[in-house]
Amino acid sequence: MKAIREGFRKKIVIAEPKPEDAREIEELFYRTWLETYPNKEAGVTRDDVEDKYKSSFSDEMLAKRAERIAQPPDGDTLLLAKEGKKIVGLCRVVVHQDKNQLQAIYVLPEYQSRGVGSLLWKEAQKHFDVRRDIVVHVATYNTKAVAFYKKLGFEDTGLRFKEERFTMKSGATIPEMEMRIHVQPQDTKQNPKNGSM
């Protein structure tokens, strides 16, 4: 099984997006949201997710996404996992003044548990400020994601919250939790290889 997964992972390429990827990226968000976020206990329905994405594929919204891809905000990096020409996963990293944020790792349902998220994480780490902690916000009921982030070294900070932008048509809001990787303070001693102590 491990050999099969390793063979598959070799087919996956991590790439930066192009404006013409906008529609496929939106489709990936939509499909992963439909698979992940409807939750009876939280009151989030498939209809809520459908409503959230109802205008996402309009020419106007796709043009906005394409523009953001072409000119991302400072400190904002989007990475794609591709099998051939097909986008199978994505990762967004945002470097803030006080922290690094892993904004999202989304992988198409049929590609999950095959190492795609780990490949995206490995590449994402190259874009973080090494002096700052890394945080990720995850739906409290998304146990698969929570387990994945724990495996990467994230710890639950105990912070629970709801963001207005995740309030659905039904009035339900996706409950979130914060997870964090604490970065050790950099050694203040100079590197002996540089000729000083």
| List of domains in the chain | 2-185 (3.40.630.30)
Alpha carbon 182 to chain centroid, angstroms: 18
Q: Distance (Å, rounded) from C-alpha 160 to C-alpha 181? A: 17
Nearest C-alpha neighbor of 128 from the set 136, 138, 140:
136
pLDDT at 27: 97
Residue 139 binned pLDDT confidence (cut-offs 50, 70, 90): very high
pTM for this model (two decimals): 0.86
Q: What is the pLDDT of residues 44-99, one digit of tens each?
A: 999 999 999 999 999 999 999 999 999 999 999 999 999 999 999 999 999 999 99
Which value, to the nearest 10 degrees, does the dihedral of the CA atoms of residues 170, 50, 105, 64 take?
-110
pLDDT at 186: 63
Residue 184 binned pLDDT confidence (cut-offs 50, 70, 90): confident
Which is more confidently placed, 125 or 187? 125
Nearest C-alpha neighbor of 130 from the set 100, 155, 96:
100
